[in-house]
Chains A and B, each alone.
Chain A
Amino acid sequence: MREILNQSSNPEIIKPMLELVMEKAEMFKQRFHRKPVFMEVCGSHTHALAKSGIKQALKEYVRLISGPGCPVCVTDQRSIDSMIELSQGENRIICTFGDMMRVPGSKYSLMEERTKGKDVRVLYAPTDAIKIAEDNPEQEIIFLGIGFETTIPILALLMQEAEKKQLTNFSIWMTTKLVRPVLEYLLQSGEVALDGFLLPGHVSIVLGEENYSFLVDDYHISGVIAGFEPAELLSSVQKLVQLAYDGEAKIINDYPSVVTKKGNSAARNLMARYFEECDEAWRGIGTIAKSGLDIKPAYRQFNAKLKFNIKQQEPRKTKCRCGEIIVGKIDPEECPLFGKACTPRKPIGPCMVSDEGSCSAAYLFMRGLG
Chain B
Amino acid sequence: MSQTINLAHGDGGELTHQLIQDVFVKAFGNNEESKFDAAIIPVQQGKIAVTTDSFVVKPLFFPGGSIGKLAISGTVNDLAVSGAKPLYLTCGFVIEEGFALKDLKTIVQDMADEAKKAGVLLVAGDTKVVERGGCDGLFINTTGIGVLTKETETVPSFEVGDDVIISGTLGDHGIAILTSRGDLGIKSAVESDCAALNTMLEKATAVSKQVRIMRDPTRGGLTTTLVEIAEDFGVTITLEENAIPIKDGVRGACDLLGYDPLYLANEGKAIIVVAHDDGDKVLEAIRQLPEGQDAECIGKVTDTSKGQLLIETPLGVKRALHRLSGVMLPRIC
- Which residues on A are within 8 Å of B, measured CB to CB? 1-3, 5, 9-11, 14-15, 18, 43-44, 50-54, 56-57, 71-72, 97-99, 101-102, 122-125, 127-128, 146-148, 150-151, 202, 230, 343-345, 354-356, 364-369
Contacts and interface: CB of A to CB of B under 8 A. Distances in A.
Contact of B315 (A53, A365, A367): A53
Contacts of B246: 3
Nearest to A352: B325
B245 interface: yes
B42 interface: no
A151 B333 CA distance: 7
A343 B331 CA distance: 18
A57 B329 contact: no
Contacts of B260: 355
Interface of B: 183-186, 241-243, 245-248, 257-258, 260, 294, 296, 308, 310, 313-320, 322, 325-326, 329-333
The 4 residue pairs across chains A and B that have the minimum distance between CB atoms: A53-B317, A125-B185, A98-B329, A344-B325
A5 to B, nearest CB: 6
Main secondary structure of the interface of B (DSSP, over half): loop
Contacts of B184: 124-125
A1 B294 CA distance: 6
B106 to A, nearest CB: 28
A356 B184 CA distance: 20
B330 A11 contact: no
A178 to B, nearest CB: 14
B121 to A, nearest CB: 36
Given A14-B314, A53-B319, A230-B314, A9 B242 contact: yes
Given A52-B313, A125-B185, A355-B258, A44 B333 contact: yes
A99 B331 CA distance: 5
Contacts of B296: 2
A56 B317 contact: yes
Contacts of A345: 325-326
B332 A72 contact: yes
A257 B303 CA distance: 43
B331 A97 contact: yes
B329 A368 contact: no
B320 A57 contact: no
Given A97-B330, A354-B258, 18 more contacts: A11-B315, A11-B316, A14-B315, A15-B314, A52-B313, A52-B314, A57-B316, A57-B317, A97-B331, A98-B330, A124-B184, A124-B330, A125-B184, A150-B332, A343-B325, A354-B331, A355-B260, A356-B331
Given A97-B331, A101-B329, A151-B332, A366 B319 contact: yes
A97 B183 contact: no
